[in-house]
């Protein structure tokens, strides 16, 4: 049985922002996302829609809230019931709550905020995320 994975498309604004050095990496990232989506469709998993979410909890950690641990629920996503625990650096709760797009995948793009870590979305995962962020903040939970 063959799989129909995807087609890569970019609008001209996105193409203009791509630096020649990073174009190959960005295209590779798009290819990997497409392959991941194709495999997910083949096995019946619905991936997170970065425009269809609710933030269920947030915790700012460190002096000035340098790190932000957030649990995001992606409506309609089937893996882990749509729950993702994401760790951000240099993103405030205020900034995250005003995002229209929250993509849980790692990226170097500057258009949206991106997590520095993803943690298994369980109560134990949340506790581990708090410990990780506290350690990264130099032990200062604030």
Mean pLDDT of residues grouped by 10 in the chain (142 residues)? Answer: 38 45 59 60 69 94 89 89 93 93 84 91 96 87 59
Please tell me the predicted confidence (pLDDT) of residue 12: 42
- Centre a 10 Å sphere on the Cβ of residue 33 and count the other Cβ atoms it contains: 16
What local confidence, expressed as pLDDT, does residue 87 receive?
A: 97
CA atoms within 13 A on the CB side of 32: 9
Burial of 85 per CB tally in 10 Å (0-12, 13-18, 19+): buried
Query: Residue 26's pLDDT is what?
Result: 63
* pTM: predicted TM-score of the whole model, two decimal places: 0.67
* End-to-end alpha carbon distance in the chain: 54
Q: Which residues pair with 82 in a beta bridge?
A: none
For residue 9, what pLDDT is reported? 39
Q: What is the pLDDT of residue 38?
A: 63
84 contacts: CB under 8 Å, gap ≥ 6: 48, 71, 72, 73, 74, 104, 118, 121
Task: Round to whole Å and give the CA distance between 137 and 116.
Answer: 13
**pLDDT score at 138:** 86
Residue 111: per-residue pLDDT: 81
What is the model's pLDDT at position 33? Answer: 64
């Amino acid at each position: 049985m063959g799989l129909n994975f995807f087609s890569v498309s970019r609008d001209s604004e996105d193409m203009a922002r791509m630096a020649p050095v990073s174009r190959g990496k960005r295209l590779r990232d798009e290819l990997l996302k497409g392959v991941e989506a194709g495999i997910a469709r083949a096995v019946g998993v619905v991936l997170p829609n970065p425009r269809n979410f609710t933030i269920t909890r947030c915790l700012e950690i460190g002096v000035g809230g340098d790190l932000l641990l957030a649990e995001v629920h992606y409506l309609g996503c089937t893996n882990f019931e749509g729950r993702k625990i994401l760790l951000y650096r240099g993103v405030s709760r205020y900034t995250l709550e005003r995002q229209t797009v929250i993509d849980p995948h790692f990226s170097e793009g500057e258009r949206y905020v991106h997590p520095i870590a993803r943690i298994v979305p369980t109560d134990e995962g949340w506790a581990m995320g708090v410990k990780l962020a506290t350690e990264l903040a130099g032990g200062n939970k604030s």
